[in-house]
């Protein structure tokens, strides 16, 4: 047997193995309900975490939800539906139109939550989150983003989690949150928080299941 044929056989075997492994992985994933008709607003900053953004958007869309993107900075690098400064006078309408708002984390969020970067979009986003909350809509955040909800006063007296970082945890606690460790996703009323990239798929699944019940 020639070396070329042997290599070709090995490549085919590896491809088949990978394919079988992927199908097994897919079969092990929980079957999610359809949430057709639900509208979700996903919020991203410059320096957002793709490992959170992609699973969230892909899972919501796979479950038939309508997903739109709100960019806090024009430099997010992906196509977005709204830019925060363009809609600062339309917040009430947006909060009424959507069933949930989901804040994606990442280094850009961390810099803003901890005060390293001042962002004119932050107070507008805080106001929008408060409107969603007051209307009983789902307000969700992952990684560093729960810090935004904490500073908005939405986590006071509520269980919540975030990325395992002392500064972020202290922000949650200082604003009255009951910090929970060791759980991928924490739901308290209409507030949902999650740890970070390692829990992004659990977070995405939890979003779908929550909205399916509404």
Per-domain residue ranges for the chain?
Answer: 1-30, 36-212
Q: In the prediction, which pLDDT does 31 show?
A: 87
Q: Is the pLDDT of residue 25 over 50?
A: no
Closest CA to 213 of 192, 196, 195: 192
Q: Given the structure tokens 């739109």, which residue do they identify?
A: 68
User: What is the model's pTM?
Assistant: 0.86
Q: Under CATH, which number does the domain 36-212 receive?
A: 3.40.50.880
DSSP 70-121: EESSTTSSS--SEEGGGSTT-HHHHHHH-SEEEE--SHHHHHHHTTSS--TT
Return d(Cα 207, Cα 138) in angstroms, integer.
Answer: 9
Strand partners of residue 178: 159
pLDDT band for position 20 (cuts 50, 70, 90)? low
Q: In the prediction, which pLDDT does 9 show?
A: 61
Cβ contact 82:71 at 8 Å? yes
pLDDT in tens, 135-181: 999 999 999 999 999 999 999 999 999 999 999 999 999 999 999 99
Cβ contact 196:163 at 8 Å? yes
CA distances from 130 to 19, 62, 149, 157 (A): 45, 28, 9, 16
């Amino acid at each position: 047997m020639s070396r070329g044929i042997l290599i070709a056989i090995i490549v085919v075997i590896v491809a088949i193995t990978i394919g079988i492994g992927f199908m097994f992985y897919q079969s092990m994933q929980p079957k999610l309900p359809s949430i057709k008709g639900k509208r979700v607003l996903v919020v991203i900053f410059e320096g957002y975490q793709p490992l959170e953004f992609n699973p969230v958007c892909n899972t919501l869309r796979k479950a038939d939800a309508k997903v739109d993107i709100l960019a806090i900075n024009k430099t997010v690098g992906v196509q977005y539906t709204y830019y925060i400064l363009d809609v600062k006078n339309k917040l009430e309408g947006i909060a009424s139109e959507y069933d949930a708002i989901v804040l994606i984390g990442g280094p850009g969020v961390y810099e803003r939550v901890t005060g390293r970067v001042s962002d004119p979009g932050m107070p507008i986003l805080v106001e929008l989150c408060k409107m969603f909350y007051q209307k009983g809509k789902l307000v969700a955040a992952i990684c560093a983003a729960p810090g935004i909800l904490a500073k908005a006063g939405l986590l006071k007296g509520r269980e919540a989690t975030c990325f395992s970082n002392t500064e972020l945890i202290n922000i949650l606690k200082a604003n009255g949150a009951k910090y929970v460790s060791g759980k991928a996703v924490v739901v308290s009323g209409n507030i949902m928080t999650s740890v970070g990239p390692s829990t992004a798929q659990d977070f995405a699944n939890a979003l779908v299941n929550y909205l399916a019940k509404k």
